[in-house]
Amino acid sequence: MKMEDKAFKKNILITGGAGFIGSHVVRLFVKKYPQYHIFNLDDLTYAGNLENIKDIEKASNYDFIKADINDADQIKELFQIHQFDSVIHLAAESHVDRSISNPKIFVETNVTGTINLMEAALETWRGNLENKLFYHISTDEVYGSLGETGLFTETTAYDPNSPYSASKAASDHFVRAYGETYNLPYVISNCSNNYGPNQFPEKLIPLFINNIIANKALPVYGDGRYTRDWLYVIDHARAIDLAFHKGKNKSTYNIGGFNEWQNIDLIKLLCEIMDKKLNRSAGESEALITFIKDRPGHDKRYAIDASKINKELGWEPSVTFEEGLMKTVEWYLQNQNWIRAVVSGSYQEYYKKQYL
Ligand code: NAD
Ligand code: DAU
Ligand 1 atom at shortest distance from the alpha carbon of 46: 11
Q: Ligand 2 centre and the CA of 94: distance in Å?
A: 10
CB-based burial of residue 197 (10 Å sphere; 0-12 exposed, 13-18 middle, 19+ buried)? buried
pLDDT per residue as tens digits for the range 41-72: 999 999 999 999 999 999 999 999 999 999 99
pLDDT per residue as tens digits for the range 123-170: 999 989 999 999 999 999 999 999 999 999 999 999 999 999 999 999
**Closest C-alpha residue for ligand 2 atom 21:** 204
Ligand 1 atom at shortest distance from the alpha carbon of 70: 18
Q: Ligand 2 centre and the CA of 172: distance in Å?
A: 20
pLDDT per residue as tens digits for the range 298-331: 999 999 999 999 999 999 999 999 999 999 999 9
Residue 82 domain flag: yes
Task: Assign residue 135 the CATH number of its domain.
Answer: 3.40.50.720
Model-wide pTM > 0.95: yes
CA–CA separation, 345 vs 290, rounded Å?
Answer: 25
pLDDT at residue 1 greater than cutoff 60? no
Number of folded domains that form the chain: 1
Residue 307 domain flag: yes
How far is CA 79 from each of CA 63, 100, 269, rounded to the nearest angstrom?
A: 14, 33, 46
How many angstroms from the chain centroid is the CA of residue 12?
A: 18
The predicted model gives 176-192 an average pLDDT of: 98
Is ligand 1 within 6 A of the CB of residue 195? no
Residue 284 domain flag: no
Residue 344: the pLDDT is 86
Beta strands 227-232 and 133-139 are unpaired
Q: Is 284 helix (H, G, I), strand (E, B) or coil?
A: coil
Range of the domain at 244: 8-196+230-259+301-320
pLDDT at residue 290 greater than cutoff 80? yes
